[in-house]
Structure 1
Amino acid sequence: MKISWTTIVAALSLLATAMVAGPEARAGQTAASIEYDFVTRPAGLPADFDAPPGGGLRFLAIKAIDGFRVDAALWEPGGKAPAATTLVVSVHGSGSAYHGNPHAFLSPGLAAKGYAVLGINTRQNGDKVNTDNFFDVRRDIEAAVYTARALGYRTLVLHGQSLGNIQVQFYAASNWDPDIKALVLTSMFANLPWKSRHLLVQDEENWHQLAEAAFKSLRDGKLEAVLPVRMGWITGEKVPLTGQHFLTYRWEASSAADGTYWIRRIPRPMLMVRDAGDAIIQPFEPYMLLSAATAEGSLVPSVKLVVLPNPKGRSAAAHGFVDNRAPLVETVAAWLAEQRL
């Protein structure tokens, strides 16, 4: 077998090029990644926080693309492969968690109906409430969505409770991924910056003090620091918050937490559910969202609003549907079935 000098020279040239270029030119490098691991049951969960009969409950630690750890719980129905199962990515409200209401009963309730649910703790859960930057939470949702895909799920629904409602709206409006088929919003406010100023705070002097402190934190590069001024909140008390939270959630000129803006930009069907006894979400707020979703030019193909009666009257606890557990599960499951999901 004869090998020409031309062949030898060409081979040596390729080898020299590869050696000079280094390993980074020969193999792709990872700039950032989303990772997950299954972990043991976290300490401190309620004893009755468990899987439904015939189903499963597993726990995960997910690393978002910016390195933040997202703790998660995965409820799965028995006897169904992920590829044949609709999975709901569920996002909690202010300072809550995947084991708070209504997730504590809605998630296993949906699993009993044949749906999987991946509930996550976002970076504003627990004592981190009112400290986050609105735009960072999308990374937590993104991490959950990609984890669901990696687990084999091909049909996804986004669910947001209370503050989570605006976070999933923002994600769905800016990510038109074809496997995200629908949205479920529960205990949803309409326009958080307006609500914060005119319903929660109702004190113009305090409001301007908050703005002044937040802008100072921006100028000083200390957006993650707790402000020296406290803000009126849903509980009626004044609570601490950071500059980045105020500017991205509460300040009307810069907040992104206005559902009347985002909802009409979501090209997916959606269900909205409110407990009639909810003392935190005012009766008119869902109708502001409904009006925006059905306005001329809206991308929403269909939207349904359900108000669950509550003979016990108004209470803060009704925000979590504690008096309407079974009706909430039935309402969500029936609507998903109507959507053939």
Structure 2
Amino acid sequence: MSRRSALTLIAAAALAFAIPAGHAAEIAASIQYDFAQPPAGLSADFAPHEGISLRFLAIKAIDGFQVDAALWQPDRKPAADTTLVVMVHGSGDSYQKPPQSALGARLAAKGYSVLAISTRQHDDAINTENFFDVRNDIDAAVRTGRALGYKTIVMQGHSLGNIQVQYYAATTWDRDIKAVMLLGPFGNLPWKTRTILVQNEDSFRTLVDAAMKSLREGTLDKVLPVKMHYFTGQDVPVTGQHFLTYRWSETSVADGTLWIRRIPAPILVVRDQSDGIIQPFEPYQLLAAAHAEGSLAPSIDYVILPDTKPVSLKGHFFDGNEQPLADVIAKWLADRHL
């Protein structure tokens, strides 16, 4: 075949696959949001406040999951001139629970907007999700914030949400994400799960074997036949995908000492002095990692919120310390002109 004939065939093939005139592009996937009615049974944290608007949203993530959210905004302040704090809750919680719910109006009163979301592991879905899928929920919230006109975004994660936010900020270097705040954060979840929560090598190995079996059998989203010992002192259900992506060091990426040094933004860490879930040494694991050679974090600040109450689960949620927590956050943001 001559070179000219070959070129003719290539041109004919190109024409065969050419886009017809007037053809409209198709959408393969999208993120959508709509304003929704308030859900029933809201706590006093959602009561009306003068000078603050509160709206509720239903956001569809790129994979179709519905992310419910609450948006507090200071009145008479354009979104473009307001910092938006995107809040991600901890294990089995939601935007309706503290500290997210307690901070919404308090930060709005100080001039900040707050978008608090319920991720796919909220409430009864605790310990069931794939770590990587939660990124879709957070990304949907961030993109919704941009669509609403916000140009300055701060990420906040509480408890389990802290590692989800770290991962997002470390892998999404968008210039409008100006800071990251971690409330009640653990240091290394797979290590903590094995050493502090389970504390039994035979039980842990049984969990590993069951999770690996679920991987081979294609049942990762199903609850394992064995349970995981938890901070509540109970043995709780867990899926294979949750265990493998969060709890076992060989497969998990839920290690804050890995991600925190890869966040190219200022970081605030806050722990309540009476927190009964996060051990006193855990935030220092994050601080050490953020200060390590090669860390991208320009700065990291650690605040221990004074609390004279006995160490308890309530301390993990900043119970009774809501206003001091809001004050610490607002001052830290203001000091960075956010």
The reply to whether TM is greater than 0.5 is yes
- What residue ranges of structure 1 are gaps of 5+ in the alignment? 1-16
User: Take 1:95 and 1:24, find their aligned partners in 2: how far apart are those partners?
Assistant: 51
Q: Amino acid of the residue matched to residue 99 of structure 2?
A: P
Correspondence list, 1:169-184, <5 A: 169-184=166-181
User: Residue 313 and residue 24 in structure 1: after superposition, are their counterparts in 2 closer, same or farther (change >3 A)?
Assistant: farther
Q: Runs of at least 4 residues of structure 1 off by over 4 A?
A: 17-25
C-alpha displacement of 1:245: 0.1
1:325 aligns with 2:327: no
Q: Amino acid of the residue matched to residue 74 of structure 2?
A: P
1:18 touches 1:25 (CA, 8 Å); kept in 2?
no
Partner of 1:133: 130
> Match for 2:95 among 95, 98, 113?
98
- What secondary structure is seen at the aligned counterpart in 2 of 1:148? helix
User: Take 1:38 and 1:25, find their aligned partners in 2: how far apart are those partners?
Assistant: 34
Partner of 2:57: 60
> Match for 1:275 among 268, 272, 276?
272
Partner of 2:164: 167
1:53 touches 1:112 (CA, 8 Å); kept in 2?
no
Structure 1, residues 218-256: CA drift from partner, whole Å, max 9, x if none? 000000000010001121111001000000000110101
C-alpha displacement of 1:20: 8.9
User: Take 1:273 and 1:285, find their aligned partners in 2: how far apart are those partners?
Assistant: 11
User: Take 2:45 and 2:244, find their aligned partners in 1: how far apart are those partners?
Assistant: 39
1:72 aligns with 2:69: yes
Partner of 1:155: 152
- What secondary structure is seen at the aligned counterpart in 2 of 1:307? strand
1:191 aligns with 2:188: yes
C-alpha displacement of 1:59: 0.3
Partner of 1:114: 111
C-alpha displacement of 1:292: 0.4
C-alpha displacement of 1:50: 2.6
Partner of 2:305: 308
Correspondence list, 1:284-299, <5 A: 284-299=281-296
> Match for 1:86 among 83, 86, 93?
83
Partner of 2:332: 335
Partner of 1:217: 214
1:32 aligns with 2:29: yes
Structure 1, residues 129-154: CA drift from partner, whole Å, max 9, x if none? 00000000000000000000000000
2:45 touches 2:102 (CA, 8 Å); kept in 1?
no
C-alpha displacement of 1:53: 2.3
Q: Amino acid of the residue matched to residue 207 of structure 2?
A: L
Correspondence list, 1:236-255, <5 A: 236-255=233-252
C-alpha displacement of 1:18: 10
User: Take 1:246 and 1:38, find their aligned partners in 2: how far apart are those partners?
Assistant: 34
User: Residue 53 and residue 292 in structure 1: after superposition, are their counterparts in 2 closer, same or farther (change >3 A)?
Assistant: same
User: Take 1:199 and 1:323, find their aligned partners in 2: how far apart are those partners?
Assistant: 27
- What secondary structure is seen at the aligned counterpart in 2 of 1:290? helix
Partner of 2:223: 226
- What secondary structure is seen at the aligned counterpart in 1 of 2:275? coil
> Match for 1:264 among 261, 266, 276?
261
2:45 touches 2:101 (CA, 8 Å); kept in 1?
no
Q: Amino acid of the residue matched to residue 277 of structure 1?
A: S
C-alpha displacement of 1:307: 0.2
- What residue ranges of structure 2 are gaps of 5+ in the alignment? 1-13
Structure 1, residues 56-89: CA drift from partner, whole Å, max 9, x if none? 1000000000000000000001110000000000
Q: Give me the identity figure in percent.
A: 60
Number of corresponding residues: 325
User: Residue 24 and residue 190 in structure 1: after superposition, are their counterparts in 2 closer, same or farther (change >3 A)?
Assistant: farther
- What secondary structure is seen at the aligned counterpart in 1 of 2:219? coil
